[in-house]
Each structure stands twice: as structure tokens, then as C-alpha cells.
Amino acid sequence: MDCIFCKIIIGKAEAVFLHEDDLVVAFLDIMPVNEGHALVVPREHHERVETLDEATYLHLFKIGRDLMRQIQTAFADVTAFNFIIANGKDAGQEVPHVHLHIIPRKLGDGFGYKFGPNYGKIVSIDERKATAKKILDR
Ligand code: 5GP
Ligand code: ZN
């Protein structure tokens, strides 16, 4: 078994846990954006969210919000959070086991989104309607 998060879950690799229950665990990220950066991870190995059962998927976000509140209480200088799932390699996923990042943020911390060259053009209402049709008409 090659998955680092599976190894952490079964105790074969070290991590600092913030939460454990039947469906998910949470531990601190080894390379945090800011102190308190945590990962909520389903116990079962799934590479992407598509295959997670509904209960586990919803629970992942419930625990994420609970943890966010605790992190907020612990660090007075934290003013905001990013919840991020990189769902697939092309979206920046490096560890192929589903994980929800809970990233504590503060103004000027230097973290942010990087936009591509196509970003910044306003898409007309008709083009957006055409996009919605593609998504919904099937
Ligand atoms: P991704 O790019 O897949 O969304 O994020 C993977 C995250 O897992 C990164 O933030 C990285 O720092 C973290 N990570 C990778 N290996 C380990 C590890 O062995 N232990 C812990 N705690 N975090 C890890
Ligand atoms: Zn795994």
C-alpha cells in the first residue's frame, strides 16, 4: 500500500491528529500555509470525491467546519479560512486520497489563487445560458 494518508490512518506513518471518528480523521498538514492548517480525510481510500458515499462526504464538511471553529478560537490573528479540495491531479491534487484542506488565513499571508490568461473576461448572459444548457441538458 503506497498511500501516505492510508499509512497515517492505520498508524504506519506519523501525524498529529486533531480528530478521529468512524468515517473521517483530521490531522495537521506537514507543510502548512499558516499554523493550524489541517486536513480532513475519509478513512476509506478514495482518490476522488465522486466515489465517496454521501454520508462520508457530508461528514467531511461537518468536521471541517467544527475544526475551523476550534482553529479560529486558538489563533487570534486568523481572520478567514479557505476550504479547498483539489479533486484530481490537474486541479493540483498531489496526494491521491481525498482530503479537505482547512486553511487559516490572515491578511497579507501571501497565499492565494493563481489565475490563468483566460480569466478576467466577462462572459455574457447568453454565453452563460449556453453553458448551463450543456451542463443541465443530459
Ligand atoms: P494536495 O496538493 O494533494 O491538495 O495537498 C496535499 C497536502 O498534503 C499538502 O498540503 C501537503 O503538505 C500534505 N502532505 C503531504 N504529505 C504529508 C504527510 O506525510 N503528512 C502530512 N501531515 N501532510 C502531508
Ligand atoms: Zn489512501
**Which class for 133: exposed (0-12), middle (13-18), buried (19 or more C-beta within 10 A)?**
exposed
Domain count, the chain: 1
Question: Is pLDDT at 118 greater than 90 in this prediction?
Answer: no
- pLDDT tens sequence across 78-104: 999 999 999 999 999 999 999 999 999
Q: Ligand 1 pocket by C-beta < 6 Å: which residues?
A: 4, 15, 27-31, 86, 92-95
**Secondary structure of residue 59 in the 3-state scheme:** helix
Indicate the top mutation candidate among 40, 90, 95, 100 to test ligand 1's pocket, ranked by most ligand atoms within 8 A of CB.
95
DSSP summary character for residue 126:
H
Question: Is pLDDT at 1 greater than 80 in this prediction?
Answer: no
Domain of 132, CATH number, reads 3.30.428.10
Active site residue 59: no
Residue 29 domain boundaries: 4-136
CA 49 to chain centroid, in Å, comes to 11
First to last CA, the chain: 38
Tell me what the mean pLDDT of segment 95-114 comes to: 97
CA of 85 to the centre of ligand 1 (A): 12
